[in-house]
């Protein structure tokens, strides 16, 4: 089988060349060109043209081309070499854009040996993709495009074709399509720019308790919480968050905690993300008095180094301030040791159980420097449900069992009336919230 016949077999793998095609191969150049143009116009009168129809006609039309044809078209711009390339990059795109295409000669053609030159009109409606930009759908605009072609026919097949026309005519005539495409591109650009810009979200929560690393800081009472989060696609993030707390846990304070978070995440390959961050916890006005008489604030600052993989995170927190969480170590009479350098390591696993439910598993260990009585481990197991399935988009409901192993004689709250309440142990935590 010759190279040409092999290509034709690829185009129509289940059929042999029709007798019409063989007849065309033996015809004079002008007859071949006329039959070729007629094939281009095969769907002009057909209603309800399908993709299968277009593919079939594109294959039939490509049979008129030589295996090594050179095809130039003003819209495509660059020369197309080979029958398959010409079919896929010129014939089929035009037929897809203008399913009712009609390609007709205007005036008398000029025939010189194997070469046929002629003027033509290409008409049709842009029902398919926009020929200039196939990502945009056509709006049915009519096209009446004049042009001139030079076609060389050898051995009954087209070896060279050059379709010349003013390519600006197409967008000038397809005004509705161009307008819709321009609007579509503008919207796509807007979305792309938004994806590259800073994203700001917020949240509001009502919890049955405020648990900080498994420690109740509201004396087992409800907490109202809320925050604002900022995330940049480059990896930077920052948050401002606040909650009520118990004055029994944070003496002399206003009953408010305000936190600031900031950090940067890097994609380090292999599906892993490195997370470096800083956190500062503020308790306005709150302080305790150490055995040496100094006022010790509860305000705490920590550095974070984390590793993220899929729905798993591993974080290490390091305390920067002199007295972590307002804790000091009574070294000797009137001598207080600081707790700077306290560390907390945690592992979190939050896989999706379904489209609306997420599993929340957590384990952590806190080591308070110079104060081992305050060391503890904490654990949490629960689920979070997206309330969109009950027509409450943006709302969430979470439930969890939280356990802290801390010493109950060390971790407690002290009321003004002298009553104490344990802050560690096992707790059922329920949270409802809204993201916006």
Query: Are both 162 and 210 inside the same structural domain?
Result: no
What pLDDT was estimated at residue 292? Answer: 82
Same domain, 395 and 324: yes
For the chain, what's the residue count?
436
Considering the domain architecture, whether residues 222 and 182 belong to the same structural domain is answered as no
In this predicted model, what pLDDT tens digit does every residue of 113-162 receive, in sequence order? 999 999 999 999 999 998 888 888 989 999 999 999 999 999 999 999 99
Q: Please indicate, yes or no, whether residues 106 and 142 belong to a single structural domain of this protein.
A: yes
What pLDDT shows up at residue 333?
A: 60
**Could you tell me the CA-to-CA distances from 313 to 229, 340, 353 in Å, in that order?**
19, 25, 17
**So what's the pLDDT on residue 17?**
38
% of residues, the chain, pLDDT over 70: 92
Q: What pLDDT shows up at residue 112?
A: 96
Domain boundary, last residue among 161, 190, 219? 190
Mean pLDDT over residues 272-286, rounded?
98
Same domain for 227 and 247, yes or no, is: yes
Whether 171 and 240 map to the same domain: the answer is: no
Identify whether residues 246 and 165 lie together within a single domain.
no
Interval 207-228: pLDDT, tens: 999 999 999 999 999 999 999 9
Angle CA(312)–CA(318)–CA(319) in degrees, nearest 5?
140
Q: Mean pLDDT, to the nearest integer, of 239-245?
A: 98
The residue among 141 and 389 whose pLDDT is bigger is 141
Same-domain check for residues 87 and 182: yes
Q: Has residue 15 got a pLDDT over 50?
A: no
Residue 181 CB partners (closer than 8 Å, separation 6+): 130, 133, 136
Based on the domain organization, do 394 and 318 belong to the same domain?
yes
Q: What is the CATH number of the domain that holds 330?
A: 2.40.160.40
**Structure tokens of 422?**
């344990």
Q: What pLDDT score was predicted for residue 416?
A: 62
pLDDT tens-digit readout, 48-107: 889 999 999 999 999 999 999 999 999 999 999 999 999 999 999 999 999 999 999 999
The pTM of the full predicted model, rounded to 2 decimals, is 0.59
Contact 378, 214 (CB under 8 A): yes
Host domain of residue 175: 3-190
Q: Is there a single domain that holds both residue 52 and residue 139?
A: yes
Q: Among 173, 190, 207, identify where a domain stops.
A: 190
Count of the separate structural domains present in the chain: 2
User: In this structure, are 173 and 245 located in the same domain?
Assistant: no
Of the candidates 190, 218, 242, which is a domain's last residue? 190
**Confidence check: pLDDT of 365 > 90:** yes
Give the count of beta carbons closer than 10 Å to the beta carbon of residue 348: 17
pLDDT band at 334 (very low <50, low <70, confident <90, very high): low
Q: Residue 158: give its domain's CATH number.
A: 3.10.450.50
- Tell me, yes or no, whether 222 and 133 share the same domain: no
């Amino acid at each position: 089988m010759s190279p040409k016949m092999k290509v034709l077999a690829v185009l129509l793998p289940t059929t042999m060349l029709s007798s019409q095609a063989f007849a065309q191969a033996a015809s004079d150049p002008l007859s071949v060109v006329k039959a070729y143009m007629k094939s281009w116009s095969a769907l002009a009168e057909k209603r309800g043209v399908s993709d299968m129809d277009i593919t079939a006609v594109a294959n039939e039309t490509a049979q008129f081309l030589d295996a090594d044809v050179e095809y130039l078209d003003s819209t495509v711009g660059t020369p197309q070499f080979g029958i398959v390339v010409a079919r896929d990059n010129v014939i089929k795109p035009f037929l897809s854009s203008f399913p009712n295409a009609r390609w007709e000669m205007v005036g008398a053609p000029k025939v010189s040996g194997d070469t046929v030159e002629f003027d033509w009109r290409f008409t049709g409606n842009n029902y398919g993709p926009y020929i200039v930009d196939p990502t945009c759908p056509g709006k049915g605009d009519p096209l009446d495009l004049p042009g001139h072609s030079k076609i060389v026919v050898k051995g009954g097949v087209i070896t060279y074709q050059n379709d010349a026309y003013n390519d600006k005519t197409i967008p000038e005539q397809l005004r509705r399509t161009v307008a819709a495409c321009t609007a579509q591109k503008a919207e796509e650009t807007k979305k792309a720019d938004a994806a590259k810009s800073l994203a700001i979200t917020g949240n509001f929560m009502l919890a049955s308790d405020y648990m900080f690393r498994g420690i109740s800081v509201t004396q087992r009472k409800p907490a109202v919480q809320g925050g604002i989060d900022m995330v940049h696609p480059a990896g930077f993030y920052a948050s401002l968050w606040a909650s009520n707390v118990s004055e029994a846990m944070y003496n002399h304070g206003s009953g408010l905690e305000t936190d600031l978070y900031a950090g940067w995440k890097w994609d380090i390959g292999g599906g892993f993300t490195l997370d470096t961050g800083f956190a500062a916890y503020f308790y306005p006005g709150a302080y305790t008095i150490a055995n040496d008489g100094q006022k010790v604030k509860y305000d705490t600052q920590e550095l974070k180094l984390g590793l993220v993989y899929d729905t798993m995170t591993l974080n290490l927190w390091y305390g920067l301030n002199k007295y972590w969480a307002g804790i000091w170590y009574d070294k000797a009479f009137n001598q207080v040791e600081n707790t700077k350098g306290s560390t907390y390591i945690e592992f979190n696993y939050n896989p999706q159980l379904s489209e609306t439910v997420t599993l929340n598993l957590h384990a952590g260990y806190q080591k308070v420097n110079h104060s081992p009585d305050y060391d503890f481990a904490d654990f949490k197991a629960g689920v979070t449900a997206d309330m969109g399935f009950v027509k409450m988009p943006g709302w969430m409901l979470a439930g969890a069992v939280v356990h802290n192993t801390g010493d109950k004689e060390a971790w407690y709250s002290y009321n003004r009336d002298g009553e104490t309440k344990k802050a560690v142990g096992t707790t059922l935590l329920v949270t409802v919230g809204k993201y916006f």
